A and B are shown apart, each in its own frame.
Chain A
Amino acid sequence: MPESRLKFWTLRAVLILVIVFMLSPILIVVINSFNASQFSAWPPEGFTLDWYRRVLDNPAFRRGAWNSLQVGVLSTLLVLILGTPIAYALARIRMRGLAAFRAVLFAPLVVPRVAIGFALFVLFIVLARPLYGSFAGVVLAHSILMLPFVVAILTASFGEVDPIVEEAARDLGASPLQAFRLAVLPQIKGALLVSGIFAFITSFDEVETTIFIVRPDVNTLPVEMYLFLEQYQDPTLAALSTLLIVFTFAVILIVPFVVRGNALLKMMGSGR
Chain B
Amino acid sequence: MSGATATPLAAPLAAPGRVLPRWVRLALLIGPGFFLIVLPFFGAMVMLGTYSLNLRDANGMGMGLSLWMDFASDGFNWSVLWNSVRIAGISTILSVALAYPVAAALLRVRSRAFLAFAYIALFSPLLMSMVSRAYGWLLLLSDNGFVNQTLGLLFGIDPIRLVFNETGVIIAIVHVVLPYAVLPILNTMTQVPPVYREAALDLGASGWTVFRRVTLPLTLPGVIVAAEIIFALSASAFVTPSLLGGGRVLTLSQLVYENIGMIEWGMAAVQAIVLLVTALAVLFVLERVNRATHAARES
User: Which of A93, A101, A105, A114 has the most chain B CB atoms closer than 10 A to its own CB?
Assistant: A114
Neighbour of B276 across the interface among A39, A89, A115, CB < 8 A:
A115
The answer to whether the Cβ of A66 comes within 8 Å of any Cβ in the partner chain is no
Q: B12 interface residue, CB < 8 Å from A? A: yes
Does A207 lie at the interface of the complex (its beta carbon under 8 Å from any beta carbon of B)?
yes
Could you count the A-B residue pairs with CB atoms below 8 Å apart for me: how many are there? 258
Residue A63 interfacial (CB < 8 Å) = no
> A222 CA to B238 CA in the complex, in Å?
13
Q: Is A114's CB under 8 angstroms from B30's CB?
A: no
Interface residues as binary, A229-257 with B (CB distance below 8 Å gives 1, 0 otherwise): 11001000110110011001100100000
- A140 and B140 contact, CB distance less than 8 A: no
B145 at the interface (CB under 8 A from A): yes
Bound Cα distance A140, B52 (Å): 23
- Shortest distance from the beta carbon of B48 to any chain A beta carbon, whole Å: 4
> Which residues of B from 130 to 182 have beta carbons under 8 Å from A?
130-140, 142, 144-146, 149-150, 175, 178
Surface stretch bound by B, among A25-33, A47-55, A185-193: A25-33
Cβ-closest chain B residue relative to A272: B183
CB-contact partner of B236 in A21, A114, A240, A241, under 8 A: A114
Q: Judge whether B279 and A18 touch: CB under 8 Å.
A: no
Considering the chains assembled together, what is the distance between the CA atoms of A82 and B36 in angstroms? 9
B127 touches A248 (CB 8 A): yes
Chain A residue with Cβ nearest B101? A14
Q: Which of A104, A112, A140, A212 is in CB contact (< 8 Å) with B260?
A: A212
| Assembly CA distance A119 to B269 (angstroms) | 8
- Does B122 sit at the interface, judged by CB under 8 A? yes
* Cα–Cα distance between A272 and B268 once the two chains are bound (Å): 34
Q: Which of A14, A114, A212, A244 contacts B275 (CB 8 A)?
A: A114
Chain B neighbourhood of A170, CB < 8 A: 15, 18
Contact residues of A between 86 and 103, Cβ < 8 Å to B: 86, 88-89, 93, 95, 98, 101
Q: At the interface with chain A, which of B20-28, B69-77, B216-224, B289-297?
A: B20-28
Contact residues of A between 116 and 147, Cβ < 8 Å to B: 116, 118-123, 126-127, 140, 143-144, 147
CB distance from B189 to the nearest CB of A (A): 12
CA distance in complex: A233, B131 (Å): 12
| Contacting residues of chain B (232-265) with chain A, CB-CB under 8 angstroms | 232, 235-239, 242-243, 253, 256-257, 260, 265
Give CA–CA (A212, B131) in the complex, Å.
16
Size bin of chain B's contact surface? 35 or more
Task: Indicate whether B62 reaches chain A with its CB closer than 8 angstroms.
Answer: no
Chain B residues within an 8 Å CB radius of A7:
207
* CA A140 to CA B41, docked complex, whole Å: 9
Whether the Cβ atoms of B132 and A118 lie closer than 8 Å is no
Main secondary structure of the interface of A (DSSP, over half): helix
CA distance A184 to B279 in the complex (A): 39
- In this assembly, does A76 line the interface, its C-beta being within 8 Å of a C-beta of chain B? no
In the complex, are the beta carbons of A116 and B183 less than 8 A apart? Answer: no
Residue on A with the closest CB to B255? A114
- Using Cβ atoms and an 8 Å threshold, which residues of chain B touch A233? 135, 138, 142
CB distance from A42 to the nearest CB of B (A): 4
Known: A22-B122, A23-B124, A89-B29. A225 touches B140 (CB 8 A): no
User: A176 → chain B, closest Cβ, in Å?
Assistant: 7
Partner of B232, one of A108, A110, A119: A110
Chain A residue nearest to B178 in the complex (CB): A22
Give A79 Cβ to nearest chain B Cβ, in Å. Answer: 8
Task: Give B235's nearest chain A residue, CB to CB.
Answer: A112
Question: What residues of A have a CB within 8 angstroms of the CB of B98 in the complex?
Answer: 14, 18
1/0 contact string of A131-169 vs chain B (CB within 8 Å): 000000000100110010000000000000000000100
Cβ contact within 8 Å between A121 and B260: yes
Q: Decide if A29 touches B12 in the complex (CB within 8 Å).
A: no
A71, chain B: closest CB distance, angstroms: 15
A235–B66 Cα distance when bound, in Å, is 47
> Per a CB cutoff under 8 Å, which of A39, A112, A237, A252 touches B135?
A237
Residues of B within 8 A of A121 (CB): 260
| CB–CB B269/A118 < 8 A | yes
| Chain A hits for B142, CB < 8 A | 233
A32 to B42, CA, bound (A): 44
Q: What's the Cα separation between A119 and B104 when bound, in Å?
A: 41
Inter-chain CA distance A103–B120, complex, in Å, is 33
- Tell me whether A119 and B275 are in contact (CB under 8 A): no
